[in-house]
Amino acid sequence: MSKIIRTKYNKEGDMIYISHLDLQQLLQRAFRRAEIELVHSQGYNPHPKISYANALALGTESQGEYVDVEIEEDLSVEEYLERMSEQLPKGITFIKAMEITSQTPSLASTIEYGEYIFTIELEKTLSKEFVKSKMLDFMSQDEIMITKKNKKGKMVESNIRPMIKQFDILDLSEDMLTLEAMIATGSKANLNNSVFIPKILEMLELEMDPLDVDILRRDLYVVEGEELASPM
């Protein structure tokens, strides 16, 4: 008798530099070594029934990734976590797991927001008043326009303001600024950090490579009524 297990996991250290595709292969190898038999789809090209939340960008650390796995055996959640923890490499940690049913909506269809922490090394000192006033002006705008290529390769303008739910300052020292944001991270709407970070740097009048900003995805959220909730 098969069962579906939803798992929350970390991706940190050197593991932030492996792609989503490599991560999928890594987890499948870990399941094999842990002797956890996965349910496969029917048809010409059967594949394991594993589904992920919104893919994490390369180079981004995360404390809140999710995966649903359908397994063949009647394994307890505790045994599942124990077996997997022995096979996962340093940097990938299965934090917790729970059994779900086939009626549980998929991660991809329900997750709408991601909570991110951005850490910026400063080459010039910024005052808290300056940062707060810039952020206030930024968030009070009705439109924050960006130009990007659409699927047909045409350059189109897009308003990212509705995709920013919260944006705040966490910490500021002489040489470090830490910001937190709750932004659209799902199939309905998705604000890519490769778009958002250049806008943050522009807002703060900082001339630096956006790739030098450290990103941590703290968690992912579904919308329940007026509230944000964890997928598990």
Q: What is the pLDDT of residues 160-182, one digit of tens each?
A: 999 999 999 999 999 999 999 99
* CA separation for the pair 134, 165 (Å, rounded): 17
Domain end, chosen from 46, 79, 104, is at 104
The 10s digit of each residue's pLDDT in 86-128 is 999 999 999 999 999 999 999 999 999 999 999 999 999 999 9
Contact 110, 224 (CB under 8 A): no
Domain count across the chain: 2
Q: Where are the beta strands (DSSP E) in 77-144?
A: 92-100, 111-121
Other CB atoms within a 10 A radius of the CB of residue 58 amount to: 11
Other CB atoms within a 10 A radius of the CB of residue 31 amount to: 20
> Is the torsion defined by CA of 32, 33, 37, 38 positive or negative?
negative
Mean pLDDT of 127-149: 95
- Residue 105 is predicted with a pLDDT of 94
**Phi-psi domain of 214 (left: phi exceeds 0; alpha: psi -120 through 50; beta: other):** beta
What is the domain extent for residue 52? 3-104
Co-location of 116 and 99 in the same domain: no
Co-location of 71 and 169 in the same domain: no
Amino acid present at 122 = L
Domain end, chosen from 104, 134, 159, is at 104
The 10s digit of each residue's pLDDT in 26-60 is 999 999 999 999 999 988 888 999 999 999 999 99
Domain of 32, CATH number, reads 3.30.70.580
Domain of 187, CATH number, reads 3.30.70.3190
- Residue 43 is predicted with a pLDDT of 86
Co-location of 210 and 167 in the same domain: yes
Q: Closest Cα to residue 24, out of 44, 9, 4? A: 9
Co-location of 21 and 122 in the same domain: no
Co-location of 88 and 116 in the same domain: no
Domain end, chosen from 84, 104, 124, is at 104
Co-location of 144 and 73 in the same domain: no
Residue 111 is encoded by which pair of tokens?
């997750």
DSSP 60-94: -EEEEEEEEEEESS---HHHHHHHHHTTSPTTEEE
132 DSSP assignment: H
Amino acid present at 11 = K
Co-location of 128 and 92 in the same domain: no
The 10s digit of each residue's pLDDT in 202-228 is 999 999 999 999 999 999 999 999 899
Co-location of 157 and 63 in the same domain: no
Co-location of 53 and 127 in the same domain: no
* CA separation for the pair 206, 105 (Å, rounded): 42
Contact 77, 148 (CB under 8 A): no
Co-location of 95 and 127 in the same domain: no
Co-location of 89 and 28 in the same domain: yes
Co-location of 96 and 119 in the same domain: no
State the average pLDDT for the chain.
95
Task: Using alpha carbons, list the distances in angstroms from residue 226 to 21, 27, 191, 223, 229.
Answer: 34, 35, 21, 7, 10
What is the percent of the chain with per-residue pLDDT over 70, rounded to a whole number? 100
